[in-house]
Amino acid sequence: MQPKLTAKTRCTDGEVGTVSKVIVDPLSREISHVVVRESNGQGADRRVPISQVQAVPNEEEIVLGCSSEAFGQFPVLDRDAYVTIHDVEIAHLEDHLHVEPGEILVPYPRLERGVPRRRFFTNMTHAIGTLIALPLVFPVLKYLMKPMYKPFDNSWFSIGNVRKIKKENIGYQFKFQKGFQEAFMPEQQIEKNIWVVKATPEVQKTVYGGKDKKFYDHKGNLIWMNKATSPYIGYSGKCPHLGCGYKWRRTKNFPDGVFLCPCHLSIYDEAGKVLDGPAPRPLDVLPMQVNAAGEVQVIDIEYKAGVRNQVRLL
């Protein structure tokens, strides 16, 4: 049974408060802590490890295995160290947890600054994340293996109009359908997406370093150059870590927005630069052109995930 977020919380010697939030480990997707709002004193939110929950007799009540004095020693929640699952969109987490109403929190990786702990977190993310991802996300596994669909497809196709992008340095998602075919299988349409940023000169400089970006076909022939001064920059919709889809999100620490990947919480700025998380390289810039009518055209290149350098797969 899972407690409601309003469940009363009892210690061995009496009631101490009510559950106000839960904290979830983004990797195991299990509750790691309950946050209990004290019913006396300042009404502080205390972070109680789930291991302290001895029983959940019914939806309205949880029982801790400690005394109220020991409860008072649990740390007060630092709300800024967490984001809600709406910020990171961990797929189907709410279905799994059945806790409502209220906030389900996950730790915010930018605050994982202690080096030994950070290294531990990164290694754990790689190890456990891979274990979790592989059986669940077969397409991701296929994405890591080469080559799966057709050979390099260098055709241009339209994804939408840039007039939809109103502000600079904000991620805007274009969705589109693309046909693909595996050996001996009928062609299927899959939904894909590309993020486009209307970039300021500073962001253009960060992305291109003042040099036009060249793209090649499988024989090594130049097929296109993105101009270093091009105001629109398109990023592949797949996270370079393990290929998950990411989102543009405003968070407390990044009120202007960042690209946030829900799978292992890699964070990228508007120039695609990795700010935090296990991603091995920046977001992948795609060949892109915008015609006089504002129509965006791209070549939908796919690169191998999980490696530092770009290795073209499709």
For binding to ligand FES (CB under 6 A), which residues are involved? 239, 241-242, 244, 261, 263-264, 266, 277-279
146, 314 contact by CB (below 8 A): no
69, 46 contact by CB (below 8 A): no
97, 22 contact by CB (below 8 A): yes
Distance separating alpha carbons of residues 243 and 78, to the nearest angstrom: 31
CB atoms within 10 A of CB 68: 18
CB atoms within 10 A of CB 114: 10
| Shortest Å distance, C-beta 184 to ligand FES | 30
For the chain, the helix, strand and coil percentages under 3-state DSSP, each to the nearest 5: 20, 35, 45
Enter the tokens of residue 234: 């398109």
Distance separating alpha carbons of residues 41 and 16, to the nearest angstrom: 10
**Residue closer to ligand FES, measured from CB, 242 or 286:** 242
Residue type, 235: Y
**Residue closer to ligand FES, measured from CB, 77 or 261:** 261
| Shortest Å distance, C-beta 263 to ligand FES | 4
| Shortest Å distance, C-beta 212 to ligand FES | 28
| Shortest Å distance, C-beta 265 to ligand FES | 6
Q: What is the DSSP letter of 3?
A: -
| Shortest Å distance, C-beta 145 to ligand FES | 16
| Shortest Å distance, C-beta 193 to ligand FES | 14
Q: How far is CA 112 from the centre of its chain?
A: 16
**Residue closer to ligand FES, measured from CB, 231 or 257:** 257
**Residue closer to ligand FES, measured from CB, 89 or 153:** 89
Distance separating alpha carbons of residues 155 and 23, to the nearest angstrom: 46
Q: What is the DSSP letter of 12?
A: T
**Residue closer to ligand FES, measured from CB, 53 or 261:** 261
**Residue closer to ligand FES, measured from CB, 197 or 244:** 244
| Shortest Å distance, C-beta 133 to ligand FES | 7
Enter the tokens of residue 263: 């799978």
| Shortest Å distance, C-beta 119 to ligand FES | 17
**Residue closer to ligand FES, measured from CB, 53 or 83:** 83
Dihedral, CA atoms, 36, 59, 68, 79, nearest 10 degrees? -10
272, 259 contact by CB (below 8 A): yes
**Residue closer to ligand FES, measured from CB, 272 or 278:** 278
